[in-house]
Amino acid sequence: MTTSIQYKKNMHSNAKTENLFRKIQNNENQWFAFDFILDHFNEDQKVKIRKYIKQLIKEEKTNEINKNQ
């Protein structure tokens, strides 16, 4: 299978999972779903995920500050 096809399939799968996750209304159930997802990663991968999330938060804050100026 070519890389392009694999990438498209991966993106489609991720989108389906993300769409389902967003449909969870109960915060506790969101936590359980996210916890289940994280259980499939080792600690080094979780550190990378946390760093990535922190970077996204910084970008959001920067964008919000720039928007309000």
Q: pLDDT for 49-69, tens place per residue?
A: 999 999 999 999 998 888 888
Q: What angle do CA 31, 37, 38 make, to 5 degrees?
A: 85
Asked if the model's pLDDT at residue 2 lies above 90, the reply is no
Q: What angle do CA 56, 60, 65 make, to 5 degrees?
A: 150
Backbone angles phi, psi at 45, to 5 degrees: -65, -35
Asked if the model's pLDDT at residue 8 lies above 90, the reply is yes
Q: What is the mean pLDDT of residues 37-59?
A: 97
